[in-house]
Structure 1
């Protein structure tokens, strides 16, 4: 994430929190980010210098004006005017980071060989909430190289209970014994 994204995303968060719209704006930012990801040509079009700025701002207004919070629409226009709309995803990350921090939410990424069931996810979430003392939002990823077990990253700490990790640990101990 760039410094620009941190500054702009943080500023929008401060405004949204002051207006008690932080949750609503965060949901809308995530939706807009997804639209930009699914339609990269649209983002490129909004940054095209050959199109007059007032036309690009009009396109933002038509696309989001009737559906998104006014502060978010104006934020998108500001990024467009300053020719930094490509920083929107980073602004979104910073906004979410600040929101989570302010609301005692920790994001955890769980990686497993196969998709976990809802019951398993709930049990893991409860265990991580007890461990961290925060509300945990789980993001699930699958990676066949994990073989079995789970790898969880929570607030910069990696908890590795994978078969791969255990095999590496055993291998390391055996190498130390042989020396």
Structure 2
């Protein structure tokens, strides 16, 4: 997001954090309500444009939200969406994108309250790796002709009782309503949101062999010194790396693998 939308999203995040500081708020229910409003805006492009029209009075747009959502969602959800309607948005789609992020964040807050946020981070990464390695599963989840209900049933069968409930909800929602994202891109976005809840950066690590706890700690400490904040490691094993590590943090790759050094040497010799 750019400009006005970025500022509006920052304000919405602050309001969500303030709202969920109260233990009386059912955060799981709030997440579901925000996801439902996201789906509504995706279906109703005219409503989305009306709520983001800069020519309309801010309070009028907030009142429209209250009329539409009153009695359909909780007061907390309606107030949160109304506050977002008061804000200025660069594009009408940005409002729906922001609501989706808040829905996912609310679910992650629920996991954090229950002490399960670390589990959710790890499970999201593992599911992404499993899906990437299974042609059959990936094809089933990307099949545009298959109804969302059948995909949800498949995921419930695969994940139900085996992962944290928040992990299951996030993955089912992502697959059921990808909103133009790939499964891999959606999982990566969710992982970053989960890490952000603890003020951490996500590092994707590929190693030729499994790392022991001491090695993980040393790597995490080294990356924390580089980036100036705690780093959560998502570690995958790939024997083709031959040795060393390949680390990706966002768009930056820290490449220390023997395989890549050999490829670089070969390129230099050929050149």
Give the TM-score normalised by structure 2.
Answer: 0.44
2:15 matched residue in structure 1:
11
Distance 1:119 1:80 in 2: 34
Distance 1:3 1:61 in 2: 23
The reply to whether residue 121 of structure 1 matches residue 158 of structure 2 is yes
CA drift of 1:70 comes to: 0.9
Task: Determine which structure has the larger strand proportion and give its number.
Answer: 1
Structure 2 residue ranges without an equivalent (≥5) = 139-153, 176-183, 196-201, 205-233, 243-257, 267-271
CA drift of 1:26 comes to: 1.3
Distance 2:260 2:84 in 1: 56
1:89 matched residue in structure 2:
97
CA drift of 1:69 comes to: 0.9
Q: How does 1:1-179 map to 2 (within 5 A)?
A: 2=6, 4-18=8-22, 19-84=24-89, 86-87=94-95, 89-90=97-98, 92-94=100-102, 95-96=105-106, 97-103=108-114, 104-105=116-117, 106-107=120-121, 108=124, 109-110=127-128, 111-112=131-132, 113-115=135-137, 121-122=158-159, 126=162, 137-138=167-168, 139=171, 156=202, 157=204, 158=234, 160=236, 169=241, 173=259, 176=262
CA drift of 1:22 comes to: 1.5
Which of structures 1 and 2 has the larger relative contact order (alpha carbons within 8 angstroms, sep 6+)? Answer: 1
Distance 1:21 1:120 in 2: 26
> Is the alpha carbon distance of 1:36 and 1:82 closer, same or farther for their aligned partners in structure 2, counting shifts above 3 Å?
same
> Is the alpha carbon distance of 1:159 and 1:75 closer, same or farther for their aligned partners in structure 2, counting shifts above 3 Å?
same
Contact 2:8 2:84 in 1 (8 A): no
> Is the alpha carbon distance of 1:136 and 1:79 closer, same or farther for their aligned partners in structure 2, counting shifts above 3 Å?
closer
Give the TM-score normalised by structure 1.
Answer: 0.61
Deviations 1:119-171 (A, max 9, x none): 87239x73xx5xxxx66614276xxxx9xxxxx8666444557xxx67x658x
> Is the alpha carbon distance of 1:33 and 1:115 closer, same or farther for their aligned partners in structure 2, counting shifts above 3 Å?
same
Structure 1 residue ranges without an equivalent (≥5) = 147-151
How large is the Cα RMSD of the aligned pairs? 4.1
